Each structure stands twice: as C-alpha cells, then as structure tokens.
Amino acid sequence: MPIARTILVSFVLIVVGVTAFWLGRITSDSHGEKGERAVASATKPSADSAAAHKDTNTEPHGHGSESKPQGLTLTPEEKTSIGLKTVSADLRPLENVIRVAGTIKPHPDREAQVSSRVSGKIVGIFANVGDSVRKGQGLVEIQSAELQKLQVELIQAENKLILHKAELERIQRLVESKIAAQKELIAAQNQHQAALNEIQGLEQQLVLAGLSESAVKKVRAEKTIATFSVAASIGGVIAERNVVLGESIEPSKVLFKVIDPAVAFVEGDAFEEALRELKIGQKVRIRLASYPEDVFSGKISRFSPTLDPQKRTLRLWVEVANSSGKLKPNLFADLNIVIGGGEDVLTVPLEALITSESGSFVFVEDRGSFRRADLVLGARDDRFVEVKKGLLPGDQVVTDGKQQVYTKSLIARGGGAALGGHAH
C-alpha cells in the first residue's frame, strides 16, 4: 500500500510539471507576437502620413506655384553676350496675306539718263558710279566743234554789235546837228537791231546745246571759247557710267544713269486667282534675304492692264520709302499683301519658334530662368503664329538668342546635338 501511494504521488507530480511547462511556453509566445506587432505598428507610417509626404514632395511647378521654377539660368553677362530679347505671347489678329515674289526696281519717276545734246570729245569726268550728286551738278566736260563754231559766231556778232552801236550813236549826233538825214538814222537803227537779234539767236542755240547761261555771258564778255559740261538732271546716285576720258560721243549715247534711291518700286507677279482680292493702296510688307531682320512697308501703287499670257500672272508695283538705301535695284524680295484681318488669337512671333523632330517649341523666361514650352500650333501669317496649347497670355518668349539658350539647355542636360532643330 505505501508503495502504490508513492507511485501515484510521483505520477501526479510529473503531470503537473509538464502542464506548467507547456502553459509557460504558450504564454511566452503570445506575449512575443504582441510585442512584435507593437514594434511594427510603431515604426510603420500611416497611409495618411505617407500620402501627405508624397503630396508635399511632388507638388508641380506652374503658374501660381510659390516654389522656385526649374530651368536654365543665365547670368546678366550671358544674356548680354547672346543679345537676348523676349516678347510677350499675346492676343493678336492674324492677318490674311497673299505672298508674291518680287524684284526691286528704280522708281520710274526718279531715274534719269544723262547724255550730250551735241557730238564732241570727253575732256573731263567729275563723277563715278556710287557718287551722290545734286541736280545741276556737272558730270563731264565736253569739247564740241559744233559749239565752238557757234561761240565763234557769237563773238563775231558781238564785235559787229559794237560797231553798229558806235555807228548808230554817230548818226544820232549828226541828225541832231541837222547834218545827216533821218533815213540814215533809221538804217543805222536797223543794223543795230539786226546785230542784237543775231546775238540773241546764237545765245539760244548755245543754251539749247547745253552751254550754261553764265558760260554764254562769259563768251560775250571775255571773247573766249569755252568747253561745256553735261549736268545731272536730278539729284541722286550715279548708277551707271558709260564713258572714258578722251572718248568721242554722239547725242544718242547715254553717258550716265542717275537714280534717286529715296523711293523704290518693288515689282511682283500675282497669280490670276488672287485678282479679286487685290486693290490699289493695299498695305504690303517686304522682306529681303539680304536683311532678314528688316521689314519694309509700302502700298500697291499700280497694276499692269494685262496678264502675262504664259505665266498667267498680273504684274503689280509697290511704292516703298527707302531712306536706308537697302532696297537696291534687282534684289529679290518677298511681298506679303495684307488683304484682311481675322479674330484675336494667342500668338507668338515666328522668330521665336524652334522646330525639331519632336515638334515646335519656344523658351519662356519665368522668374529669372528659362524653360522649354512645347506648343500646339494653328494658323499663321508672315509675322505671327497661333498657339493653341503650351502658353498663356503674357508669357515672355525668347526671340533673339533662342538658339544659344537651346544649346545651353542641351549642354545642361548632358546630351543631344548642340542645335538639334531649326528656327522659323
């Protein structure tokens, strides 16, 4: 009995110990899992805080943003060195224009051909091509046998006049003294008047031949034979010189051509489809390949009364002020005839555009830096292009210096060709 009780007590003690062991293990595992969850919960950010953090760091830059704009920055020295200029994207009316090719011509009312009225020999030349001359200025000096003969006759007539005048005065004294008859006085008066008439006729011939009135008076007074000069009939610039020293010339020869460049004609040919749109007085903008930065303004002055039968074009002439002298005869020109205007649309100047394989874009100056703005374009005329998307009114777009800004932006990004696009 005592042995059986001892065995039973030992078994109970073993069962109690095993149970306590497993209960302790379960309790430990439960507390560890809860701890790990508590640590994870403490270190993991909430969804709201993550979203707020993301919004704070990814706020886009744009109009109205208070953050500093991202783009290319240039120093004042760099802006000056590239000649940087900007213009405002603005609402403007796009004009309807007809484009016509043309050529610069001298104004027909401001061009003169200089020639001699008599044959002779060139003994002096006083002007060359490109010289500016005034109206009445002598261009060449001519020695003419024809004029020399007339001058000799004038000198002889002057001598006869002196004799006839002396004879008339003598007869008058005799008549007053009742020594000579009245008919002798009348005869002397007739001879004197005939000499005056002869001199007057010779003077007119010399002036018509080209000798100046002052030179004619000098011939009469000094009894010398003078050469004569051919003068410019208008003020302007010598465009042609067709004589050399010692050359014998005839009245049919053109010695010089003088043009007044203050006003020029631009001659163009418009296709017959445009005839109903064209009118006298319409404004025309002219551009030259020689001076692409300049725009010259003029108005249609006249039309040809007929069409060219082969080209089916109408010739027109545009009168243009040319104070700068850049409109030189025979230069090619592009004429943009304004025939009407449209509604106001957002536009930028054509010279602001840069075109690459990916499309057209401009550079916008935004608070001291320059950013690229890709554009969706619409209609255009010869000066502006419509911007449908990519800019807002008032944006300052780069015109002069845009290619240098483009190059610097490519270098800053570290890739691409230096000038990957071309400008319009």
Domain boundaries, the chain: 1-32, 86-106+261-423, 115-258
pLDDT at 169: 87
Please state which of the four CATH numbers 3.40.50.10140, 3.40.50.2300, 3.40.1390.10, 2.40.30.170 is assigned to the domain occupying 86-106+261-423.
Answer: 2.40.30.170
Cβ-contact 106, 322 below 8 angstroms? no
Residue 17's pLDDT band, with cuts at 50, 70 and 90, is low
Fold of 115-258: OB fold (Dihydrolipoamide Acetyltransferase, E2P) (2.40.50)
Q: Which amino acid is at 199?
A: I
Helix H, strand E, coil C: the string for the chain is CHHHHHHHHHHHHHHHHHHHHHHHHHHHHHHHHHHHHHHHHHHCCCHHHHHHHHHHHCCCCCCCCCCCCCCEECCHHHHHHCCCCEEECEEEEEEEEEEEEEEEEECHHHEEEECCCCCEEEEEECCCCCCEECCCCEEEEEECHHHHHHHHHHHHHHHHHHHHHHHHHHHHHHHHCCCCCHHHHHHHHHHHHHHHHHHHHHHHHHHHHCCCHHHHHHHHHHCCCCCEEEECCCCEEEEEECCCCCCEECCCCCCEEEECCCEEEEEEEEEHHHHHHCCCCCEEEEEECCCCCCCEEEEEEEEEEEECCCCCEEEEEEEEECCCCCCCCCCEEEEEEEEEEEEEEEEEEHHHCEEECCEEEEEEEECCEEEEEECEEEEECCCEEEEEECCCCCCEEECCCHHHHHHHHHHHHCCCCCCCCEEC
Per-residue pLDDT band at 346 (split at 50, 70, 90): very high
Q: Classify residue 120 as exposed, middle or buried by CB count within 10 Å of its CB (0-12, 13-18, 19+).
A: buried
The pLDDT tens digits of the residues spanning 72-129 come to: 888 888 888 889 999 999 998 888 889 999 999 999 899 999 999 889 999 999 999 9
First to last CA, the chain: 119
What is the mean predicted confidence (pLDDT) over 39-62?
37
Distances (CA, A) of 254 to 41, 228, 243: 107, 17, 9
For the ranges 146-150, 242-246, 275-279, 400-404, which has the lowest average pLDDT?
A: 146-150
pLDDT value of residue 297: 94
Q: Write down the pLDDT at residue 360.
A: 92
Mean pLDDT, the chain, whole residue set: 81
Which pLDDT value is given to residue 356?
Answer: 85
Comparing C-alpha atoms, which of 144, 95, 135 is closest to residue 117?
A: 144
Give the predicted TM-score (pTM) of the model.
0.59
Please give the average per-residue pLDDT across 131-144, as a whole number. 92
